Every structure is written in C-alpha cells, then in structure tokens.
Amino acid sequence: MQIDYGPLKTLLESEDISELMINSWSRIFVEHKGMLVETSVRFVDQRQFEELIYSILKNDNKNINSGYCFDGVLPSGYRYNITLPPMSPKGSTLTIRKFSAKNFSLDDLVKSKFMTEKVSHFLKAAVEGRLSIVISGGTGSGKTAFLNTLGSMISPDERIVSIEDVAELKLNHPNWLALQSVREGSLPITSRDCLINSLRMRPDRIIVGECRRDETFEMLQAMNTGHDGSMTTIHGNSPIDCLSRMESLVQFCGVDLPLKQVRYQMSQAIDLIIQIRRRADGQREITDIWEITGMSNDIISRSAIFEKSKAGELVLTGYVPEILQKINLARPLLHSSFFEPKAVVKKSA
C-alpha cells in the first residue's frame, strides 16, 4: 500500500529535519538542525490528516480499533507514534522520528563538535577494550545515533545481538542479529523475553536500544556474566540521574533484591557512563564521561574522566581510570600519560 503523506512529503525529504510533530491538521512543528520550529505547512483539513493516520496504521497492519496509541515504523524506516482521542482529547496526533541513512563515524562527530579528538581516541580504545557502556541523555539528545556509532565500531570477529522495542539501530556490522519486542497479538514478546533469549544465541556483546522497563535487570546480569563490552542507553539528565533511574527500573521489575545488592550489581556491570545533551541552540554534545569503580559505604563509586570546564570545553580531569588495565588487556591501546590534562597523546605501539 502506497502512503500519501500529502503536505508532509517535503518535510520528510529534507535532510535538515530530524523529527516531525503534527499536533493537529493545522499545527505542524519540526526539529530543524536541532531547533524546534513551527512550520507554515498545513493539511487541507482534519479529514486529510485522519486519512494519513489510517493509511499509516493499515500499512503497518495495526487495528485502529485496538487502542488509542500506536508505535511503529514507516516503509522508509522512520519511527512513528500516533495518539487518538480520548487519549489526546484535542484530536489525533502524529510524531515521526527520522533517522539518518548514514552511520556517523567518530571523525564525523569530532567535526560536528559532538566530542573532541581526545574523547574520540579514548572511545575507540574503550570499545576495542570491551568496556560496558551506558549512554545517558534526555529525549532527542542523540542517544540512539551515538549507540549506532559505537556499535558499528565493534570488531567484525564478534557477534552482536541487539534488542529494541522499535527498530532504530542500523549497525554497520557483518555479524549483527536484531531482536524486537512484539506488543500486538495473542503472544506478546517483551524486551526482557528478547534479552533472555539472546543469551542462548552465543552473543559476544548485547546491545539494548534503551533500558526502560524490566529488561534493565537482565541487561545488568548479562554484563556481569561474560558479555563485556555490551551497551545500552537510558533517559537521564546527568550521570547521577542515570544511576538513580537504573536503580528504580531494577526495583520496579519485581526483582526481590535489597537496594545494596542492586547497586552492587550495577557497580560490577557498568564500566562507563557517557552523558550527552542537546543544547538550547540545537547542538548535541558529550558533557561527561564517568568511570564506575565499585562500591563504597553502600554507594556506587564513580570518578570523572572527562568533564566540562568552566569555559565550556570537554576536558580531561587528570584522573587515570582503573579500567585502563582492562582496556590494555588484549593489547596496549592507551598509555597512562594520555590522561594528563593538555598532554600530547602518546600512543602505544
């Protein structure tokens, strides 16, 4: 079935637009180069907008009478969300998240000022050294795109299994298998079901698109049982928020563990938290990189490796991380002098 996007066609074709937010047939907003702006684009009337929503749901084999909110993927690969009255009492809404067909490299992210050359060098060693990484950030901060970048850097000799609710990852990797939760039908499959099954598929690394429910505990278990170098994202406005949210998600999933044990699991599973954000001017950037070092007096110990300076630059703190030994386990990748602030990068042979 061919979908007629009507007035949205030009917006979907624009490379500068990353998200479309249709609040009603006559109020259409977009994220344009990182900035949220209202457009002059309009549907002819409410009926034309409703026909588009019906076409999208029918094309994705969704039953419009089965609920009031729907998530899915358009034929183009873009993710959509639809709400219907009475859930959205003012009328139907449509949100479309576009994804770049290109996987950005670390060099691309340095050029866009998402990170510095120094951070790029560190992250390359972190992925090759099989550090377990959590990417924390707010909505629209670029967590999934950044996860794509890191995941695509994994050696082709390793097997990756990814788990998502909605297919967003597009890893450039020859031995990548994607699993996806299923909400509709008589046999729903949760992300937790996918994660448990993935452990039987001989993965070297597991990538969870986003920890948001009961898959969080299984992800920590996987990181703790031989799947070093696994990665995930989580909503959080700071590394502290990230840890607090992860604690809450584990407790909400019904696992009967005291808080101290939950924190211990987290401290043993996670090597790095990478905090990213979208600034008011639309620029996306890394703001902090923390190492998780264990437990101290029932609190998860952590130390900043990179942080924002007073001048707004992402700089080394001078702290030499304990995971340097893990990074260099297979072969030397980084020298301790690398972490000296403003030091010249000294590469190992």
Residues of the chain with CATH 3.30.450.370: 6-97
Centroid of chain to Cα 244: 17
Cβ-based neighbour number of residue 257 at 10 Å: 13
- pLDDT tens readout for residues 224-258: 888 999 999 999 999 999 999 999 998 887 778 89
Taking the domain 106-339, which CATH number applies? Answer: 3.40.50.300
| DSSP letter, residue 201 | S
Contacts of 227 (CB under 8 A, 6+ apart): 132, 203, 204, 205, 206
Q: Which of 344, 346, 223 is nearest to 292 (CA)?
A: 223
- pLDDT tens readout for residues 325-344: 999 998 999 999 999 987 44
pLDDT band at residue 218, thresholds of 50, 70 and 90?
Answer: confident
Cβ-based neighbour number of residue 234 at 10 Å: 22
Residue 254 structure tokens:
């019904």
Predicted model pTM: 0.87
144 vs 200: CA distance, rounded Å: 25
H/E run at residue 223:
helix 215-224
Residue 223: phi and psi, rounded to 5, are: -65, -30
Residues of the chain with CATH 3.40.50.300: 106-339
- pLDDT tens readout for residues 301-327: 999 999 999 899 999 999 999 999 999
Taking the domain 6-97, which CATH number applies? Answer: 3.30.450.370
38 vs 36: CA distance, rounded Å: 7
